[in-house]
């Protein structure tokens, strides 16, 4: 039986939730049933991982990038159309906003009948200028007309898409993110030893790209509030905040750290490939995002047994139950977040009890095996 030629299109291979999930799907699909092609931009921390996946053809365009560039984007369009025709692609599956539009338009122009798009958070949000947001919605509506199935990772994204009149309700299919929770069940202090952090120190970790979406400035404001609260308070060990990631706001972050005199409390690690080790060494996970689809880092943190303190955005409430396995606060409300985080810093027992509330959903609903099987079934059903 001839294998299904599946083309996966994603903008970059940087370390992000969309990229990690796309590579998990590619790795797990039955290679006897699917011949997989991956089209993406050059570079990225996950490039070597993509290259290591057996039987996958990786094509990296020197023109595909995150920023809008009409000339380069047009060249990507011609590249994609040519690539699709040359490799007799049966199904195109796009991820992320930029690749989602370009990939679907190219697939339709190349004559592909089955086109799927996974939404990792919509391309529009409340923080955009009205005209820009309207334009993003219009593009999503147009692309939806070319799409066989719009796959969402949370009920929140499904409701948002339908409310914005993007596609028909019948086009939507929810396939939740999946993680290999066994990777995050390890207990290790290797990361602490590397950074010379004492076992008694309380380690608060956040993982995100340094871009406006992630509310990095709010994260720094939170630390400033915590610093004032713990002055003169007896805490076993010091409190250290770890910020894993990098991006366009790096210089602004460093300047703000200096202005707030926080250098003694924050460690910037840059991008790292050892996230399981970092979470295994951590005590609390914090996320200050302004908008999200469903943060994979929250799933990973719960699998690692950490309490999560995060802004209430996207589908995060489908994972975190306030006051049970973590805390959710309104966006930008760092006073509220500091008030909830502070008692966790003081009490090892409180951290342990909240961290233990992982729930069976990690193994059942958010498992890597379930996610891969769902995509396999969806692609196979629509290729008949």
- Could you check whether 4-178+367-382 and 181-364 share the same CATH topology? yes
- Confirm whether pTM is higher than 0.85: yes
Q: Is the pLDDT of residue 233 over 80?
A: no
By C-alpha distance, which of 225, 218, 244 is closest to 127?
218
Assigned architecture for domain 181-364: 3-Layer(aba) Sandwich (3.40)
| Cα distance between residue 327 and residue 178, in whole Å | 22
- Confidence label for 285 from pLDDT (cuts 50, 70 and 90): very high
Residue ranges covered by each domain of the chain = 4-178+367-382, 181-364
What is the reported pLDDT for 187? 80
Confidence of residue 182 (pLDDT cuts 50, 70, 90): confident
pLDDT digits (tens, 9 = 90+) for 97-156: 999 999 999 999 999 999 999 999 999 998 999 999 999 999 999 999 999 999 999 999
Mean of all residue pLDDT scores within the chain: 94
Report whether pLDDT(160) > 70: yes
Give the pLDDT band of residue 237 (cuts 50, 70, 90).
confident
* pLDDT at site 337: 98
Whether residue 360 has pLDDT greater than 80 = no
Confidence of residue 361 (pLDDT cuts 50, 70, 90): low
Distances (CA, A) of 7 to 45, 63, 114, 352: 21, 18, 11, 44
- Phi, psi angles (nearest 5°) of residue 335: -65, -45
H helices within 196-333, ranges in order? 216-230, 250-259, 275-280, 296-303
Residue 1 pLDDT more than 80?
no
Indicate whether 262 pLDDT > 80.
yes
Cα–Cα–Cα angle for 168, 163, 367, rounded to 5 degrees: 75
d(CA 257, CA 135): 35
**Look-up: residue for tokens 């992320």?**
96
Write 43-52 long-range contacts (CB < 8 A, 24+): 43/12, 43/13, 44/12, 44/13, 44/14, 44/15, 44/19, 45/13, 45/14, 45/15, 45/271, 45/273, 46/13, 46/14, 46/15, 46/19, 46/20, 47/13, 49/13, 49/23, 50/13, 50/23, 50/26
- What pLDDT, on a 0 to 100 scale, did the predictor assign at position 277? 94
> Is pLDDT at 362 greater than 80 in this prediction?
no
Spatial CB neighbours of 210, under 8 Å, sequence gap ≥ 6: 216, 245, 246, 247, 248, 249, 250, 253
Out of 8-12, 257-261, 379-383, which region has the weakest mean confidence (pLDDT)? 379-383
Q: What is the structure's pLDDT at 91?
A: 98
Check: CATH 1.10.10.10 for 4-178+367-382? no
Block residue for tokens 């796959």? 151
244: which 2 tokens? 């894993």
Sort strands 114-119 and 202-207 into parallel, antiparallel or unpaired. Answer: unpaired
CB 7 within 8 A of CB 92: yes
**Pairing of the two strands 149-152 and 91-95:** unpaired
User: pLDDT tens digits, residue range 21-63?
Assistant: 999 999 999 999 999 999 999 988 999 999 999 999 999 999 9
Residue range 288-344, pLDDT digits in tens: 999 998 999 999 999 999 999 999 999 999 999 999 999 999 999 999 999 999 999
Are 342 and 320 a contacting pair, CB within 8 Å?
no
């Amino acid at each position: 039986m001839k294998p299904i030629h599946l083309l996966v299109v994603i903008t970059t291979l940087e370390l992000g939730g969309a990229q990690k999930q796309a590579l998990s799907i590619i790795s797990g699909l039955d290679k006897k049933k699917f011949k997989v092609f991956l089209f993406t931009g050059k570079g990225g921390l996950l490039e070597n991982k993509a290259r290591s996946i057996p039987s996958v053809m990786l094509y990296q365009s020197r023109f595909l990038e995150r920023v809008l560039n009409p000339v380069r984007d047009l060249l990507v369009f011609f590249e994609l159309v040519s690539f699709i025709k040359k490799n007799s692609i049966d199904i195109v599956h796009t991820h992320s906003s930029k690749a989602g539009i370009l990939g679907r338009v190219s697939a339709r122009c190349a004559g592909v009948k089955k086109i799927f798009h996974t939404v990792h958070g919509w391309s529009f949000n409340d923080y955009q200028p009205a005209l820009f947001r309207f334009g993003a919605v219009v593009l999503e509506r147009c692309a939806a007309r070319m799409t066989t199935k719009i796959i969402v990772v949370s009920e929140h994204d499904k409701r948002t898409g339908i409310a914005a009149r993007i596609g028909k309700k019948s086009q939507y299919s929810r396939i939740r993110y999946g993680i290999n929770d066994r990777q995050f069940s390890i207990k290790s202090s290797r990361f602490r030893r590397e950074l010379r952090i004492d076992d008694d120190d309380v380690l608060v970790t956040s993982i995100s790209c340094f871009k406006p979406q992630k509310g990095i400035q709010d994260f720094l404001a939170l630390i400033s509030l915590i610093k004032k609260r713990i002055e003169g308070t007896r805490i076993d060990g010091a409190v250290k905040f770890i910020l894993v990631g990098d991006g366009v706001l790096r210089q602004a972050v460093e300047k703000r750290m200096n202005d707030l005199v926080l250098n003694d409390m924050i460690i910037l690690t840059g991008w790292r490939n050892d996230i399981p080790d970092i979470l295994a060494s951590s005590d609390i996970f914090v996320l200050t995002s302004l908008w999200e689809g469903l943060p994979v880092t929250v799933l990973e943190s719960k699998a690692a047994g950490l309490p999560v303190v995060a802004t209430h955005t996207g589908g995060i409430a489908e994972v975190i139950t306030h006051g049970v396995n973590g805390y959710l606060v309104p966006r930008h409300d760092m006073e509220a977040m500091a008030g909830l985080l502070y008692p966790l810093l003081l009490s090892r027992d409180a951290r342990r009890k909240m961290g233990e509330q992982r729930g069976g959903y990690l193994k059942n609903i958010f498992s890597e095996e379930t996610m891969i099987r769902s995509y396999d079934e969806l692609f196979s059903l629509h290729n008949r």
